[in-house]
Structures are given as C-alpha cells and as structure tokens.
Chains A and B, each alone.
Chain A
Amino acid sequence: MAESTTGLYDGALTQAKRHSFLVDLFIRLVKEKPLGTVGAVIVLILLLVGIFADLLAPYGYNETWVGGRLDASSMEHWIGTDQSGRDLFSRIIYGAQISMFVGLGVSALSTVISTLIGLISGYLGGKIDIIIQRFVDAWMCFPGIFIMITLMALTGPGIPQVIIVLGLLYGITGSRTVRSAVIGIRENVYVEASRAIGAPTGRILMRHILPNIMAPLIIVFTSRMGAAILTEAVISFLGYGIPEPFPSWGGMLNRGRPYMLEAMQLAVWPGLALSIVVWGINMLGDALRDLLDPRLRGGVGRYGLKKTKEATKNEK
C-alpha cells in the first residue's frame, strides 16, 4: 500500500515525516494563530511559575509578617500583605502552583476517564453503549456547581479531593466527545481489516482507535484545564475547595472579602491572575481546536475568511 503511494505523494510524505505530530502542531500554532501563541506563552509561564514557585516567591505562602497586616505595597511586599500579614505576591505565586496542580491533575484524570468510557461505549456500541450513555445523561443533568459542592462537602476540602471530584465529573461529561470520535473511526476499513484478521479488541482499541482520536483528546485536555482552574476557584471561593492556609486564588478572594474595603489589593490581584490564566488557556484551546478539528471550530478562528478563499479557489 505504502509503496504505491510514495511515487505520487513523495514530497508530502517526507515532509510530514520530518516532524512528529506534536512538533508539527506547535509550528502551525506559532505560524497561524498569534493569539493562540500568546495563550501558549501564558500557559508556559503558569507552568514555570508553578514549578519554580519556591525559588520565585520572596516569602513562604504561610509566612506571617510581624510588621503589619493589610499593608499597601512597599519595597518588602511588592503588592502588599493580606489579612494575616502574609506577603500577597508570594501567595499569588504559590496560587499559580495550586492552579497548575489542579489544572493538570483534573485534565489528566478526566481525560483518562473520558477515554475509557468513550472507547468502551463508542467501540462496543449496542446495549452496553445505551446503558453507559443513560448514566452519562443522568450525570450531565446536574448543574455543575450544585453537584460539585455537594460532593466536596462529602469528601471534605483538600487538593486531592478537588482533583478527584472535578476529574470524575469532567471525565464523565467529556466522554461524549471521545465516544463520537470513536464512532466515527470504528467504521473505517483498517479497523474492519484488523478485526477480520482476528486482532483482539484490546489491541484494536490501543493500536488503531486510540492514536486516531488524539486530536479530540488534546481538545478535551486543554478545554478541561481552563474549566478546572476556574471551577476550583469558584468552589474554593464558596469555601468547599482548597482550605486555608493553602493559597488558592479563589480561596484568597473568599478569605479576603471582609478586608477588601481597607486593602483593595486583596480584591484585585488574585482575580487578575485567575482571569489572565483562564484567558490564556481559552485562547490556546481555541487555537488548538481550530488547528486540529475544523468541525469543532469556535467562532474565534478565521474560519469564514479561509473557507471563502478555499471555496473560491475550488470553484475556479
């Protein structure tokens, strides 16, 4: 098969083989999506700040400053101190670490769960699919925040709990995307062929289906990351997420509320950090979605323009 095509598409094949899938994706991102690149830079900064928080933060996240609480910005404390006299800048930095853990943890866990459910439900189909999908339907009926804070109240606050609860819920909802991708691939000839030569289901799933649903999986992963960071902030703000003294941005906004009239820095900085990170992830996710799957495009990409150009080219 491959040999017969090499003559025709020789250039194209060597071109495609030069880079791996991810490198190629990255190059296209930088070339075609300036806003997506900005988003990627923000995500990168979040990761770096998260990893090197201990080196970057001038003080510990729970280190109280005897000099004063609710101080305005000064040489020692660039953006002031909080209600317990802790350096706000350091807490924002450590907050990035928590957001990174939650974002990556939830995305990883939910992607694994989505993939498992989606693969089984989509590939096996039939009765199993119907039963699994009714379960997914039922879970999707609960308004996110309601069921999340209920589950968090049962598990108690904490970072692992947040990751498990959010990962589970997002995993169940995200399985729909994976399932429809699997159903699209299931009917392909190469799947039929490997089934015909007697390959076991597990092997078909791992070798033929899974590599072909990488695009929707990347989309699920990035879109979950932004949502997870935002939702963690919301449930921490409501008091069910990550407990004191850990510096979750949402928790900081919650704890600082009674003191914000005296010290406005408590209201501004955690929210600003959160908004920038979520914006960056959204932009990156949108760009990736445009690059990877034209069918799932958002309204942001330059889709209309491109389509008309291509369409006019084809017409002529």
Chain B
Amino acid sequence: MRAYIIRRLLLMIPTLLLVTIIVFLTVRFIPGSLIDLMASQQMGETMVSPEEIAEQIRHDLGLDIPVGKQYLRWLGAWQQEDGTFSGVLQGDLGKSLWTQRPILGEIAGKIPISLELGIIGLITALLIAFPIGIYSAIRQDTAGDYVGRTFAILCMSVPGFWLATMIIVFPSVWWGWTPSMVYIPITENLAENIKQFIIPSLLMGMVMSGVTMRMMRTMMLEVLRQDYIRTAWSKGLRERVVVMRHALKNAMIPVITIIGLQLPILIGGTVIMEQIFNLPGIGRLLIDSLSQRDYSIISGVNLMMGSVVMAANLLTDLTYAWLDPRIRYR
C-alpha cells in the first residue's frame, strides 16, 4: 500500500504544476482593453493619467516582465522585487486588486459555506441514491424498479437551477413563503442556518444522486449474479444479510469511484446555488471577482478548486486501492 501511495503522490506533482500553469496563463490572456477598463474604473480615485494607472496595473499583475519570469515569481520560485520568495509554493496567493487584502484569507473565509453546502448535498445524494439503487437492483423489473429508474433519469435531466428558481417563485406566490435570502452563520443560529442550507443542498444532492443511483443499481445487479451470492443464499442466509453484507460491500467499490468523479460537479453546483440563494461562498466569490475583474482572486480561487479536486481524486484512488487490494499490485 505504501508503494502505491508514493507512486500516486509522485504522479500528482507534474499534474499540480500544469494546473498552476493553466491558472497562470488564463490571467495572462486578459485582453488589453480590459486593463484600460480597469484603469478607467480606478481613475476616479486618483489624479494620475490612465496610461500610468494602466502601467501600474500591468506592474501589479506582473505583466511587464517576461512570461516565464512572471510565472516563476507567482509560483514563488523566483525572487520578488524585494528579494523575497513569496508565491503559491509559500502559500501566498497574492493580494486582491481591489481590496488589497490577502487572497488566501478571502478564500478561507468562504470555504465553510461552500463546504457545508457540499457536505449536506453529498449526504442527500447518498441517502437518495443508495436505498433506491439497491432496491431497484434486488427488485429488478418490478414497478418499484421502474419508478426508481425514472426518478434517476429525471434527476439527471431537470436542471437544478430551474428547480431552484421555481422553489423561490411558486411557494411565494401560492403561500407567501420565501426562503431566507440573508446569510445566517452557523455559529449564530444553528437551526436557522440548517433551514437556509437545506433547500439548495437538497437540490444539489438530487442532481448528483441520478448518476450514483444508476451506478449502484448496475453494480448490485452484477454482484448479485456472482457465485458467492448463490452460496450465501443456499446457506439459508436472510435476504438482508445477503444483500447488505455480501453484495453491497463488493458493489460499493466502483460506486465510490463514481462519487469521487462527481465531486467536481458537486463543487460546480455550489456556484449556481450560492448565486440563487444568496450565500456568500466560494462560488459567489468567483462570480463577484469576475464581475469586478479581480484577476488575482480569480486565479486564486481556480487554483484552490483545482487542488481540492485533485486531493479528492487522490482520496478516491486511495480508498479504491484500500478496498480492492488488486488495484495496488497492478
């Protein structure tokens, strides 16, 4: 297992480097006109000419030196102007162009909100997907199976953002009820906070549950036809024991991979839900920074999200290897 972990970690290094290059290059491709626009937006506050401000912005973004050097500086592998090394490698993502506050702090403050949304969403997805998926498989081709499968396809086809919009509109027209649109921190009022998060999380969970449900059903069907399941039946074990202890354990392995692979979709979903339900999480931070054209925050957020997904992928692979010893010795 240790050798597998080491190999997996080593493979991560080049990928991580490429992620930083992609994040860095997207900022490099800012069209010049945008810099002029930023300059004219900032001009109101000072008496300097727009050209000078534009020059200053280019300097702040580090666009006035060769690309390679810019990248290495941002990464923290090249000396900054003051001779120090401060960059991504040192855990310094730079400062916001507008507020001048450190980006790492900005992002860290938003993480709990998106994390709460994501965790409740994930739990919802699993609570929907597992029972229905298992039931569909052990009662294959019954009415219940058809209902379950239709539900799974609906979850995958009906856009979450549409459902969210309708949840805001219809209850308020019919019963005068609207979900809270002011963020309540978890430390302030736990019950109200959960109440606020439950609807967007449920919607995110529904969207994610479709794929997991189908995978669960397929894998259960495959496992239920194995010889050892027949043996378990002929030993006279109860259905619950056969399904839960013998079948489910083996069917879970590929399902875990699918759950891991869906994490980027889950994270992406937070952008939409945070926007609709007015929750100040990472997704909102990105959207706000995009409209303010705060490119340092944008690259910070994207780098952070890329790393989170990569860590999640690593965790998925390790779980897979831990559950299924065959993987490790491949």
Residue ranges of A at the interface with B (Cβ–Cβ < 8 Å): 134-135, 137-147, 149-151, 153-154, 226, 230, 233-234, 237-238, 240, 250, 253, 257, 260-261, 264, 267-268, 270-271, 274-275, 278-279, 282-283, 297-300, 302-305, 307-308, 311
Contact assessment for A305 and B141 in the assembled complex, using a CB-CB cutoff below 8 Å: yes
Which residue of B15, B141, B301 has the most chain A CB atoms within 10 A of its CB atom?
B15
Do A282 and B157 contact each other (CB < 8 Å), given the known contacts A134-B18, A298-B218?
yes
B100 CB → nearest A CB, Å:
22
Quick check: is B70 within 8 A (CB to CB) of the other chain? no
Q: With A146-B301, A299-B213 in contact, do A260 and B169 touch (Cβ < 8 Å)?
A: yes
Given A135-B18, A137-B15: A150 in contact with B302 (beta carbons within 8 A): yes
In Å, the complex CA distance between A220 and B65 comes to 42
How far is the CB of A295 from the nearest CB of chain B, in Å?
Answer: 12
Can you report 27 A-B residue pairs in the complex whose CB atoms are below 8 A from each other?
Answer: A134-B15, A138-B19, A139-B22, A141-B264, A143-B309, A144-B268, A146-B286, A149-B271, A149-B287, A150-B290, A150-B302, A153-B290, A154-B26, A234-B161, A260-B165, A260-B168, A260-B169, A261-B173, A264-B173, A275-B162, A279-B154, A279-B157, A283-B153, A299-B216, A303-B221, A304-B225, A307-B225
18 other A-B residue contacts (CB within 8 Å) besides A137-B18, A267-B169 = A135-B18, A137-B15, A141-B19, A141-B313, A143-B309, A145-B269, A147-B302, A150-B298, A233-B159, A238-B275, A253-B161, A260-B165, A264-B170, A267-B165, A270-B162, A274-B162, A282-B156, A297-B218
Q: Of A275, A297, A307, which one neighbours B157 at CB under 8 angstroms?
A: A275
* Among candidates A141, A226, A300, residue contacting B149 with C-beta atoms closer than 8 Å: A300
Among the listed B133, B271, B310, which residue makes an inter-chain contact with A141, where contact means beta carbons less than 8 Å apart? Answer: B310
| Cβ-closest chain B residue relative to A230 | B159
Q: Please indicate which of the listed interface residues A145, A230, A261, A278 has the most CB atoms of chain B within 10 Å of its own CB.
A: A145
B162 pairs with A271, CB closer than 8 A: yes
Instruction: Name the one of B22, B214, B264 contacting A143, with C-beta atoms under 8 angstroms.
Output: B264
8 Å CB contact of A144 from B26, B264, B290, B298: B264
Residue of A nearest to B23 (CB): A142
- Check: B267 CB closer than 8 A to any chain A CB: yes
